[in-house]
Chain A
Amino acid sequence: MTETTSGLSLHVPEPAVRPGGQPNFSNVKIPAAGAVPRPDIDAAPESMRDLAYSIIRVLNRHGEAVGPWAGTLSHQELLIGLRNMMRLRAFDARMVMAQRQGKTSFYMQHLGEEAVSCAFRKALSKGDMNFPTYRQAGLLIADDYPLVTMMNQIFSNENDPLHGRQMPVLHSAKDHGFFTVSGNLATQYVQAVGWAMASAIKGDTKIAAAWIGDGSTAESDFHSALVFASTYKAPVVLNIVNNQWAISTFQGIARGGSGTFAARGLGFGIPALRVDGNDYLAVHAVAKWAVERARRNLGPTLVEYVTYRAGAHSTSDDPSAYRPKTESEAWPLGDPILRLKNHLIVLGAWSEERHQQTEAEIMDEVIDAQKEAESHGTLHAGGKPSVRDIFEGVYAEMPDHIRRQRQKAGY
């Protein structure tokens, strides 16, 4: 007897809920804070495979720091961390407003992801190099990069360090360990590996950090980066920020849910850790572990930060068209700023009053920076980069054909 079949069918993953539905994160399995062990820095990758499938967490629901990953930061450092996250959030809010007012063409905020880049930066040393995406400005803020300079870039004004050539938020700051951001996704991931290989070739002690989102792990450069990092044992931390969404596409389309993003490192023999991306202490502890591992020439580490993109993808995006409006409120790992704030209050190092006072101070700082930046112009008003700047810097020396075009343009 021959078997009958009704024919093949294509599987197209769908998120659990769409607009109008009740947010549902029952598929996100959250272990208790402190439950995941902390391996020795030089542990063999195969001895820590479980870490790619769990979530390293330090802060529990009572705001206490618990377990083997706790204790990497002093109270003072935690207060700085809180302040940096608050500065990033305030900065974002002002820039979204500035975009709505036509002062810039575009902006991308970090809402809900502030802990990832702010805490990671504190695990690096001077001279280390990040290869960020467009959603890691916390690396700059936590390194005290001037807010005015960031805004000058966002406003493309006469003081824009990139002379008006780049879209807003695609910063470049070599002195702050922040590689020039490209619009092309994932390209920087493999470049980070090359930078780390160079440091190793020269016998240096500097390490690199690569950054990518969940959606972009589907790009081929993600795979190139992993194989090169593994082959040459490059001193690089391979960060994946899993914020559940790639514009309108839920992480299942990048094949999240088939294991974890962290687990992809295991096939390359790269130790992989999964961490609560909204837990400033956990992010820092894991980053410190991975950075130390790289610096001790023990090779690359893959880190998946489990978080949630609470804001719109960009100022050109409306998330209510593809996900429930209240989904971010239902996110089980909460808000990174609130969680660190509560922790500091539990420690007795912070209070509601001081928090409010600090919020006001930060708003003043950001508004002052914005006033100064706007005095140098915004996209459509005031000081602008020169038309001459279009033609400069394509090459170290301007070739004749570009010089002729510059002259034709009247400059």
Chain B
Amino acid sequence: MTRMTMIEAVRSAMDVSMGRDENVVVFGEDVGYFGGVFRATQGLQAKYGRTRCFDAPISESGIVGTAIGMAAYGLRPCIEIQFADYMYPAYDQITQEAARIRYRSNGDFTCPIVIRMPTGGGIFGGQTHSQSPEALFTHVCGLKVIVPSNPYDAKGLLMSAIEDPDPVMFLEPKRLYNGPFDGHHDRPVVPWSKHDLGEVPEGHYTIPIGKAEIRRPGTQVTIIAYGTMVHVALAAAEETGIDAEVIDLRSLLPLDLDTIVASVAKTGRCLMVHEATLTSGFGAEVVSLVQEHCFYHLEAPIIRVAGWDTPYPHAQEWDYFPGPARVGRALLELMEA
């Protein structure tokens, strides 16, 4: 075991995977020589050569489209979109092609690719460096969608994603790259080296896709979150003193419904939290499933705390980002209902 940031864990996952399987190739904008704008691919080109890790032209549809062709040949591309906010030019390739190739060809061709993209806000990224577009992927049948919340999960899930026979959208909350973030932007940043989940095995291991993790067992209310909001939810539970059970989904599609249902059946209350905008966000799907499967256990209406239904603003960052105060208020509201 060694201490890693989430960036180092992501890099380690690619490093170990490239070492184990010569069909794994890594490319994207600034990914090669420079090692990525977030340093996620640093050293990989020097170690594995320019034909295994290389820079790509600034063309998201080109990056995803060529990766699909490579996968059809038999490679396992793990590619990077520099920011999730810039995946839209590739949306056609992701949704109509990558997601459907197995189905439409009846398995004649498959698409084992991973599309990594830094996601989420909390970094004064404004409108096009802060978005959380996961709901645009969870609505697409044929994709898998993962959002890790810590270095240990990031590495294990990314290795699972690379080994998965189907296309995986891997959204990395960039606010968590260097340390856990609970929404208290006015406090000093805590590094991953001071966090249990910053302990990461150096070698190969995987975490199953489709399995949630309970981060904090509790009895009074279930908080369902993923990515940065897991840490916000934990902070809100501590600060309100409410004994909340915090579920880190990790995998949005497929979703670990069993863990959710077991928890809500126990607590009778449910709070869904995400950074992404509210309307038709992924929370709507979770809330719908919870009411469908836990209706007779519910003691209060399910509440969602999410980003406002607006583009992500710059100056008003902390009035937009759903921090521990907003989540805490929702918890109190749930308990009073």
Which positions in A face B, CB cutoff 8 Å?
129, 131, 161-163, 165-166, 170, 172-174, 179-180, 182-184, 187, 189-202, 208, 220-221, 223-225, 227-228, 231, 393-396, 399-402
CB <8 Å contact, A190 and B70 = no
Query: Which residues from 97 to 138 on chain B have a C-beta closer than 8 Å to any C-beta of chain A?
Result: 97, 100-110
CB contact between A396 and one of B61, B96, B100, B166 (< 8 Å): that residue? B166
- Of the listed stretches B36-44, B72-80, B315-323, chain A binds B72-80
Given known A191-B65, A193-B66, A197-B69, contact A228–B108 (CB-CB < 8 A) = no
CB <8 Å contact, A396 and B66 = no
CB <8 Å contact, B65 and A221 = yes
- Residues of the B chain whose Cβ atoms lie less than 8 Å from the Cβ of A187: 65, 92-93, 96-97
Per-residue interface assignment for chain B, residues 285 to 297, with 1 indicating a CB less than 8 Å from any chain A CB and 0 otherwise: 0000000000000
CB contact between A173 and one of B108, B141, B144 (< 8 Å): that residue? B108
CB <8 Å contact, A195 and B103 = no
Given known A172-B104, A224-B59, contact A184–B69 (CB-CB < 8 A) = no
Instruction: Kindly state the separation between the CA atoms of A223 and B57 in the bound complex, as whole angstroms.
Output: 11
Given contacts A195-B72, A202-B73, A395-B166, 12 further A-B contacts (CB under 8 A): A161-B108, A166-B104, A187-B65, A190-B61, A191-B72, A194-B66, A198-B70, A208-B69, A221-B93, A225-B65, A395-B102, A399-B210
Listed from nearest, the 9 A-B pairs whose CB atoms lie closest are A194-B69, A194-B66, A190-B65, A224-B62, A198-B73, A180-B105, A191-B69, A195-B69, A172-B105
CB <8 Å contact, B104 and A180 = yes
- Residues of the A chain whose Cβ atoms lie less than 8 Å from the Cβ of B68: 191, 194
Interface of A, helix, strand, loop or mixed by DSSP = helix
Judge if B255 is at the interface, Cβ distance under 8 Å: yes
Q: How many residues from B make CB contacts under 8 Å with A?
A: 43
Judge if B142 is at the interface, Cβ distance under 8 Å: yes
Judge if B51 is at the interface, Cβ distance under 8 Å: yes
Looking across the interface, which residue of chain A has its beta carbon closest to that of B65? Answer: A190
- Residues of the B chain whose Cβ atoms lie less than 8 Å from the Cβ of A129: 72-73
Instruction: Kindly state the separation between the CA atoms of A176 and B42 in the bound complex, as whole angstroms.
Output: 40
Judge if B301 is at the interface, Cβ distance under 8 Å: no
Given known A165-B103, A191-B97, A194-B66, contact A179–B72 (CB-CB < 8 A) = yes
CB <8 Å contact, B109 and A182 = no
> Can you offer 26 A-B residue contacts whose CB atoms are under 8 A?
A131-B69, A161-B106, A162-B104, A165-B103, A172-B104, A172-B106, A172-B108, A172-B109, A184-B92, A191-B69, A193-B66, A194-B65, A194-B66, A194-B68, A194-B70, A195-B72, A198-B73, A201-B25, A202-B73, A208-B69, A221-B93, A224-B62, A225-B65, A228-B59, A394-B103, A395-B166
Which positions in B face A, CB cutoff 8 Å?
25, 51-52, 56-57, 59, 61-62, 65-70, 72-75, 89, 92-93, 96-97, 100-110, 141-142, 144, 165-166, 210, 254-255, 257
Instruction: Kindly state the separation between the CA atoms of A195 and B96 in the bound complex, as whole angstroms.
Output: 18
In the assembled complex, how far is the CB of residue B330 from the closest CB belonging to chain A, in whole angstroms?
A: 27
CB <8 Å contact, A224 and B108 = no
Instruction: Kindly state the separation between the CA atoms of A220 and B57 in the bound complex, as whole angstroms.
Output: 14
CB <8 Å contact, B109 and A180 = yes
CB <8 Å contact, B70 and A197 = yes
In the assembled complex, how far is the CB of residue B16 from the closest CB belonging to chain A, in whole angstroms?
A: 20
CB <8 Å contact, A174 and B108 = yes
- Residues of the B chain whose Cβ atoms lie less than 8 Å from the Cβ of A179: 72, 109
Given known A220-B61, A401-B254, contact A393–B69 (CB-CB < 8 A) = no
